[in-house]
Amino acid sequence: MEPIKIKNYTKSKSRTNTSSFVANVFSLMFTALIISGISAVWFASEEMKHYIISFEGGLTTFGWISTLAPLGLVMMIGFGFNKYSVKFLLGIFILYSTLTGISLSTIFAIYSTSSIATTFFISALTFGIMALTGYTTKTDLTKMGSLLMMGVVGIVVASIVNMFIGSSLMDYIISIIGVLVFTGLTAYDVQKIKNIGNQIDQGSETAQKMMVLGALTLYLDFINLFLMLLRLFGNRD
């Protein structure tokens, strides 16, 4: 990615451009969440869930594709940022949110609908508070961001290890740490997006691409926060 050149905006123009940029990022992120929600609810229905969950209780081939493919799509967006057009990156993001929603449909087979709804509300409230904190705080969160990213790596490694160990205690600890990490990342990422909006040339192709990348980042923060909270407080059927 090419370095972002800082322009000499007036304060009022800079604030307007920054607010517009951040608002567009959040609008795109919310759109992706709606797409994921619709996909999840649809494939959780009696008519569709057999496409994801086999009669034996495991994932079908399509279920595995919807679970693993999003990782590849995220890598495409990251590595193809300079190569692909805005429309192509946006298409990948929409496909990603759709497949993620389909894979999330399996939570309806594990947790009660009421606990999913309650956890979603708690996640949205927490996300909103931290997003507002990240946008308004005068404190530089850069150093905190580095520590939080180390936390993400630790969560991934610990989760892989626990797949073989199967420890409920470790799963509980991972979930608690995950909530703290993704709560902090929300504030950090919003501040980072705000700073980008304050520096980038509004209306440029790079700015539009950064909107997609920013929306994906916040989307991941919210989804992971939601899943970690669900693992902690969700009532299993």
Instruction: Find the domain containing 85 and state its range.
Output: 11-233
**Residues 6 or more apart from 125 whose CB is under 8 A from it?**
none
pLDDT value for 185: 96
Residue 173's pLDDT band (cuts 50, 70, 90): very high
pLDDT value for 14: 57
Show the CA angle centred on residue 28, arms to residues 177 and 40, nearest 5°: 65
Q: For residue 136, what is the enclosing H or E element?
A: helix 113-136
**Residues 6 or more apart from 28 whose CB is under 8 A from it?**
93, 211, 212, 214, 215
pLDDT value for 194: 94
The top-scoring range by mean pLDDT among 49-53, 141-145, 171-175 is: 171-175
Angstrom distance (rounded) from CA 153 to CA 123: 22
Total Cβ atoms within 10 A of residue 108? 18
Residue 6 inside a domain? The answer is: no
DSSP calls for 170-221: HHHHHHHHHHHHHHHHHHHHHHHHHHHHHHS-TTSHHHHHHHHHHHHHHHHH
Total of domains in the chain: 1
Residue 1 inside a domain? The answer is: no
Residue 3 inside a domain? The answer is: no
CA atoms lying within 13 Å on the CB side of residue 198: 11
Total Cβ atoms within 10 A of residue 137? 13
Residue 126 inside a domain? The answer is: yes
pLDDT value for 3: 40
Residue 2 inside a domain? The answer is: no
Residue 4 inside a domain? The answer is: no
Angstrom distance (rounded) from CA 77 to CA 230: 28
Q: How far is CA 15 from CA 138, 158, 161, in A?
A: 15, 41, 46
Assess whether pLDDT exceeds 80 at residue 202: no
Average pLDDT of the chain?
A: 88
Residue 109 inside a domain? The answer is: yes
Say how far residue 228 (Cα) sits from the centre of its chain.
12
Higher-confidence residue: 106 or 7? 106
What does the pLDDT look like over 74-83, one tens digit per residue?
A: 988 888 888 9
Residue 204's pLDDT band (cuts 50, 70, 90): confident
pLDDT value for 217: 95
Residue 37 inside a domain? The answer is: yes
